[in-house]
Each structure stands twice: as C-alpha cells, then as structure tokens.
Amino acid sequence: MRSFYAIYRKEMGHYFVSPVAYVVIAAFVLITAVLFSVDLNYEMTQAMRQQMQGMQYGMPTNVDVPSAVLREFFGLFSTLVLFLAPMMTMGVFADERKRGTMELLMTSPISETQIVLGKFFASLTLFAIMLAPTLVYVIFLFAHSDPAPPWKILAGGYAGILLLGGSLLALGSFVSSLTENQIIAAVLTFLAILLIWLLNIGQSLSGWVGSTLAYLSLISHYEDFTRGIVDTSSLIYYFSFMALFIFLTVRSVDSMRWRRA
Amino acid sequence: MIEVENLTKSYGAVTAVDHISFTVNKGEILGFLGPNGAGKTTTMRILTGFMPATSGTARVGGFDVTNESLEVRRRIGYLPEAPPVYPDMSVESYLDFVARIKNVPSDRRADRITDALQKTSLVDKRHELIKRLSRGYKQRVGIAQALVHDPDVIILDEPTVGLDPKQIIEVRNLIKGLAGSHTIILSTHILPEVSMTCDRVVIINKGKVAAVDTPQNLTSQLKGGQKIRVEAQAPDKALQDLLEKIPGVHRAVVEAAHAGGLSVATVEAAPGQDLRSQIAAQVVGKGWPLCELRGMSLSLEDIFLELTTEDAAHEQPAN
C-alpha cells in the first residue's frame, strides 16, 4: 500500500510540476464552457420553436430543456474524452521506458500491480480534477431551472463519465506499456478507442451478433448514464473493462523483463 | 554475499551470458571488466532481479534472484548504465520517492536522504531540478539513489562514465569508502579503475569469464609481461641490437628516427623482472643520451588479446 501511494504521489507530482496539466485543464474548461453555452442556446431555441408550433395547433407542449441540455452536454463530454484519454496516458509507461526509469521501478521491492495501479489511479484523479470545474455550469443550470431536473441525471452523468474515462485510461496505459514511443502510443490508443466505440453499429444489426457488438461498445452503456439510469450490466461492463486492461498492463509490464532492452 | 553459478542468459540464438560463475564476499569490491557487449550489463540486470536468467542460479544474501526476487530487491541498490532519474523532479524529492519505493520507514527517510546527499556531495544541489544538472551531477544523483536505502549490496554499472577526471576520483573514493559496510559490484571497461578501486576482478569476454583474480595478480601473471618504452638519441638499428642483447628481453621494436635523431623503442620483457635499470645502464654506457625510460602498464586491449589468444591456443588441440 505504501509503495502504491509512493507511485501515485510521484505521478501526481509529475502531472502538476509540468505546465502540461494546467494547459490541458484550462483547454478542457474553455472548450466545455463554449460547448455548454452553445448547447444551452440551441436547446432553448429548439424548445421555443416547438412550443410555438404547439401553440399554432392549440396544444402547447412542455419541453424538458434542462434534461435535454444535460444529455447533450454529457454526450459532448464523451467525445472530448475520446481525444483526451490518449494524450493523458501516452507517456505513462512509454516515457518511463525511454528514460530508463522503468529499470529503477522494476529493481525496487514493489510489485508490477502496485506500479500499474498507482499510475492508473493518478491518471483517474487528474481526469476527475479536470471534470470538477464543469460542475459549475451544471449547478448553474440546476439553480436556474424550474422545476429542477432530477439529481439522478447529474449523478448518473458524472458517474458515467468517470467510468468511461477510467476505462479509456486503463486501455491507454496498456497501449503505452507496449511501446517506447509516446506518439505511437497516442495514435494506437486513439484507434483502439475509436474501434471499440464504433462497435455501436451493432445496434443497427439484427440477431445476437448485433446485440453482442452493441453490448461491447464503450458508448452504448454511457448513454444510459446520461439519462440517469444506472444499469448493473453497464457497471459490470465498465468495471470489467478496467480490470481487464489493468490486468493486461500488469502482464505487459512484467513481460518487459523478458524482452531484450 | 553473492554467489553466481553457471548463470546463462540467451536472447533467441544469441547467448549474452554463458555459464558464468563467481562469488563476492561480504564487504568486498568486485570489478567487472570487459569490453562493451561482453555481458556485464546483462549479468548485473539478472543480479538485481530486473530480468530472469535462462539457466543457472544467482543468490544475493542467501536469496535466489528469481524465486525470492522481492527479498533480493530489498537488499540491493542499483545504478543502471544511464542514471534512472526523472528530469522534472528536484534532487531531494527524487531521493524521497526512491526511499519510499525502497521501503525506507518514514522516520528514517530524512536521515537517509541527507546521508546519501552528503556522500555524493549533492547537499547544495538538493533543491535543483534534475534536468538542470550537468551529466556528472546526474550521475551522482544516480549513485545517491543506489545508496539511499542503505542496501547490503550495491551494483554500479559503469559509475564513472561521463564524468570529468576530478569527479572520477571523487566517485572512486566514494566507492572505496562504501566497501566494508556494503558489498559492491561495479562494471567498467577502464583497467586503471579496477586496479585502483577493486579487491578482485572478474574479466568477462563474449559472455564468458576469462579470469577471476586480484588486480595485482592479474597484471603480473599475464604471460606478455611488461613493456618498456625507451627514447634515446641513437641510431635506430644499433639501439635495437643493443636492446635485444639484454637478457630477459623478448623483442625490441624501434620506430624510425624522429626529429633530432631521437629513436623510440618498445621493449617487451619477460614478467617478474624489472629491466629498466639494465636498459638505462646499457644505453648510457654506449654514450647515447637517454631521454625517456618508462614502464608501460598493460592496457585492457593487451590483457584481452592475451586472454583471448591464449584461449584460442588451448581450444585448438581439443578440436
């Protein structure tokens, strides 16, 4: 546990002594802020138009703007994470190998699992820190909508994005452990995420193949969360996804001992 | 403290380390001498638990490096070829990190870090970022890192590479100071380094142990004996004849006369006897001004040539 914390602490320090973390967080906050206001505007106009149409036919409709905004917003989040995760994890192991510090870690009395978990939870913490400022917009939305949208959507949305992010970070760490080159790690992670994302096309296929593909897609489970639905099968999906890639990373780090350095 | 028996490491068809065996006693400094690619680094990596051996056993402090890797790693400080440092960390926070992953208890950590900083003369650089340090200082940080948890065994892969002459002397003294309380293995391809710091030497070449002995025995036992360089103002042919007549001289090679009628001769002599005074007397007796007379220490290349040609000569009849 102490060694796990030592690795975690070192990784956090590594993120925050360099300007990279601050730049990435600032960029993320800026982009999400712009997207949020565009999203809010769009949904408001849509709702207004629908109400006007309804009035013309003499039956005014009620549109749940806040929920629609949130759903749309969390959808945009997931797209951003697709780009962010490869950048956050590309150096996790690749850099360590290139600098030769992997040799230090692997000749220290710590297990591969401690190394991998320390790094994984550090990247997940950085991700959570990045998300934190976006709570401001969402709380603003809750404060100004009447009636307030169900808190389940808020909680579900953030739980979903953390699970999705965690899965992508686990996948990214694994890819990073395969190469010494950060750029290759980033590109391969991006392609791998895209591929698993696109399994969603299974939804349009019929039969068990289609439904299996859809189940395996990263994004189909996420959509439930943004509607405030926490489905056990989705939880199992994300937790097994993370566990699988953490396990593979541990094996991959261990196999470095057998490769020719 | 360290027992290595028939250790072998192959990468596919390439055998990097081929059935090597040696032991290191407690408190001893063992030098690992060999050209680049001889298998020094591979052997060290096996001893530190970084990679497993293909066959054979190695024990550190009684623990097997493969089956009790964690116990071995607790007792070892290791400086790889390149200092394993994080450029973005300060010297002190880096050593703190290393002390943590090496399981130094929190109440002893500050003392151990200060001790490592003092031993490597890094106290005034403790708050400096590692990326701003020069090559020599980075190397010292690498050594400090290997000492910070006060390990029983310290393994240093080419600890003086990239340092300036003054730093090299400092590092050698530091290593000598560590002996006794620590058991040390260091690798190098510089012969004087071995004779200055090590109690015993293992010479490895192409993955095999070519010789294990003290530096003194090793140099004197070699069949090539000693070489003497003679510079005198003399006709080169006559000088060669004179030198070759001296008993004990195997061969004298005289280079063509240099400017000012200076001839330079290299004399190869049998081991165990010092011919310098005889040569001086003979040359001066002829009335030739003697400008320089110097015993040349054998270079690593000489020793290797000696050891490898000897091996080849022994192997041939067997084939």
Domain ranges of chain B: 2-221, 226-297
Q: Which alpha helices (H) appear in chain A, and where do they start and end?
A: 2-17, 19-56, 65-89, 94-99, 101-106, 112-131, 134-144, 151-176, 182-198, 207-216, 218-226, 232-255
Chain A residues closer than 8 Å to B100 by CB: 2-3, 5-6, 9
Question: Is A109 within 8 Å of B73 when comparing Cβ atoms?
Answer: yes
B190-238 pLDDT, tens digit per residue, is 777 787 888 888 888 888 888 888 877 776 665 455 678 888 888 878 8
The two three-digit tokens of residue B35, written as one number: 């050209």
Provide mean pLDDT across the span A199-207: 77
pTM, two decimals, is 0.82
Higher pLDDT, A146 or A50: A50
Question: Is B50 within 8 Å of A103 when comparing Cβ atoms?
Answer: yes
B86-137 pLDDT, tens digit per residue, is 998 999 999 999 999 999 999 999 999 999 999 888 999 999 999 999 888 8
Q: What is the pLDDT of residue B299?
A: 57
Q: What is the pLDDT of residue B306?
A: 66
- A91 falls within a domain: yes
* Residue B20 to chain A, least CA–CA distance (Å): 20
Most confident of A63-67, A219-223, B220-224, B268-272: A219-223
Q: Cα separation of B22 and B28, whole Å?
A: 13
* A104 vs B70, B84, B88: nearest CB: B84
Closest residue on chain A to B87 (Cα): A99
* Residue A31 to chain B, least CA–CA distance (Å): 28
Other beta carbons within 10 angstroms of residue B268's beta carbon come to 15
- The residue segments making up the domain with residue A80 are 2-255
The two three-digit tokens of residue B253, written as one number: 């090679």
Same CATH topology for B2-221 and B226-297?
no
Q: What is the pLDDT of residue B307?
A: 67
Q: What is the pLDDT of residue B77?
A: 94
What total number of domains does chain A contain? 1
Chain A residues closer than 8 Å to B87 by CB: 99
What average pLDDT is seen over chain B? 84
- A260 falls within a domain: no
Provide mean pLDDT across the span B243-255: 81
B140-195 pLDDT, tens digit per residue, is 999 999 999 999 999 999 888 878 888 888 888 888 888 888 999 999 877 777 87
What ipTM describes this predicted complex? 0.85
Return the percentage of chain B with pLDDT > 90, whole number. Answer: 30
Contact by Cβ (8 Å): B155, B81: no
Q: Report yes or no: B78 at the A interface, CB cutoff 8 Å.
A: yes
Chain A residues closer than 8 Å to B97 by CB: 6, 9-10
Q: What is the pLDDT of residue B215?
A: 77
Q: How many cross-chain Cβ pairs, A to B, lie less than 8 Å apart?
A: 75
The number of angstroms, rounded, from the C-alpha of A128 to the middle of its chain's C-alpha atoms is: 9
Tell me the CATH number of domain B226-297, given options 3.40.50.720, 3.30.70.100, 1.10.3210.50, 3.40.50.11540. Answer: 3.30.70.100
Question: Is A17 within 8 Å of B88 when comparing Cβ atoms?
Answer: yes
- A261 falls within a domain: no
Q: Please state the CATH superfamily assignment of the domain spanning residues B2-221 in this structure.
A: P-loop containing nucleotide triphosphate hydrolases (3.40.50.300)
Q: What is the pLDDT of residue B89?
A: 92
Closest residue on chain B to A111 (Cα): B70
